Amino acid sequence: MIVHDFSNETSILNQFILEMRDVSIQKDSMRFRRNVERVGEILCYEMSKTLEYNSKVIKTPLGEKTVNAPTSEIVLCSILRAGIPLHHGILNYFDSVENAFISAYRYHPNGGDDFEVNVKYLAAPSIEGKTLILADPMLATGKTLENVLKALKTHGIPEQIHIISIIGAKPGIELAAKIFPKNTHLWIAAVDNALNERGYIVPGLGDAGDLCYGPR
């Protein structure tokens, strides 16, 4: 997996991540959702530099110009719930992609800290031979991505996969690197070292779904 980690770059992205992490700012859920969206916009712009383009001639009112136009057939699949604003951020730039949604929720089979991930809902077109963008806001243990990847196999094998995440933890990135094809790109705004005993990223930002849409 090719990891594009923007943690150590200084740009306005730092401000959006700061606001999402800061307990005194993150409570404003409208602002939180907007920041998720903005991170989606920035990361997908970076990702766009690796897509394929063909030159084509277009007519302007005053003449003709040869320009580059993206050629990839893209399916954007977002993981509910916090994937929704990330999805919108990516759609702001890639407005003609096909859309897919998948739900993945954690459950604790023994009532303790250990958890499994259940995929309950998947609405997706064929991804066969296409470019798949997976929007997974919080790449914590990687178990969600593992289950999502399994579920999406029923819809074909993509030619290329791009994962877009806001914050990841090292164990999740390591698992993703094991289970995804080697040419998969991970675009990630920040990487933290640790997970707590319930599989949440530390220091992270808390539960991104709750911060976007309120507690379950």
Select the span of 30-38, 39-47, 71-79, 206-214 touching ligand URA (CB under 6 A): 206-214
Instruction: Tell me if residue 92 falls in helix, strand or coil.
Output: helix
- Among 38, 47, 45, 36, smallest CA distance to 2 is for 47
| Residue 29 beta carbon to ligand URA: minimum distance, rounded to whole angstroms | 13
Only one of the segments 21-29, 50-58, 118-126, 205-213 lies at the binding site for ligand URA (rule: CB under 6 A); that segment is 205-213
* 201 part of the interface to ligand URA, by CB under 6 A: yes
Applying CB under 6 A, which of residues 83, 142, 168, 204 lies at the interface with ligand URA? 204
Indicate the residue among 97 and 212 with the shorter CB distance to ligand URA.
Answer: 212
Instruction: Report yes or no: 209 and 83 within 8 Å, Cβ to Cβ.
Output: no
Reduce the DSSP state of residue 18 to 3 states and report it. helix
Closer residue to ligand URA (CB): 97 or 138 = 138
Please tell me the distance from the alpha carbon of residue 31 to that of residue 177, in angstroms, as a whole number.
32
Rounded to whole angstroms, the Cα distance separating 172 from 211 reads 21
| Contact partners, residue 120, CB within 8 Å, separation at least 6 | 103, 104, 105
Which of 45, 93, 115, 200 is the binder for ligand URA (CB under 6 A)?
Answer: 200
**By CB under 6 A, what part of segment 133-172 binds ligand URA?**
138, 140
